Amino acid sequence: MQIIQPSTFHEFEQYYRLRYEMLRKPWHQPIGSERAEDDDQAIHLMALDENTGEIMGGCRVHLESDQEAQLRFLAVAPKYQNKQVGRRLLQAVEEEARKLGAQDLIVQAREYARNFYKRNGFTEEFPTHLLFGEVQHYQMRKPLH
């Protein structure tokens, strides 16, 4: 597995396709809804299968404030789930957040992802928004020092 920052049209195409397929399509959202207005200000990461070049997972991180970096859109392709892809992406995000000078990493975790984040050192703070009227999110935090 190789973690890279997508830079080519093809890499970004794979990256956004995975984000759509995993985080928007199951809730019948339109193509394009996987993109965020501030994507151009974030650091994007993707895990690639070194043998096939296929995307295994992806996510992004940006500074939310001087002290906090926020992880968003972490998704792992179904055939690569439970193979440490999410954990490796999370480690890469933490490294990037530290380089940006963040003290804490926050995430708005979906209900079904809470245990993943807890296993990786995050603590749950409070429920936040309800996405698409049905996907409860929770703010979670991990100190980076």
pTM over the 0.75 mark: yes
Given this model, what pLDDT does residue 93 score? 97
Given this model, what pLDDT does residue 129 score? 83
Question: Which amino acid, 13?
Answer: E
| Residues of the chain where predicted confidence (pLDDT) is lower than 50 | none
8 A C-beta contact, residue 11 and residue 4: yes
Q: What whole-number distance in Å separates Cα of residue 142 and Cα of residue 94?
A: 9
What's the mean pLDDT when you consider all of the chain? Answer: 95
- Helices (H) then strands (E): counts for the chain: 3, 7
Residue 100 in 3-state DSSP? coil
Given this model, what pLDDT does residue 117 score? 96
Given this model, what pLDDT does residue 145 score? 81
Given this model, what pLDDT does residue 2 score? 96
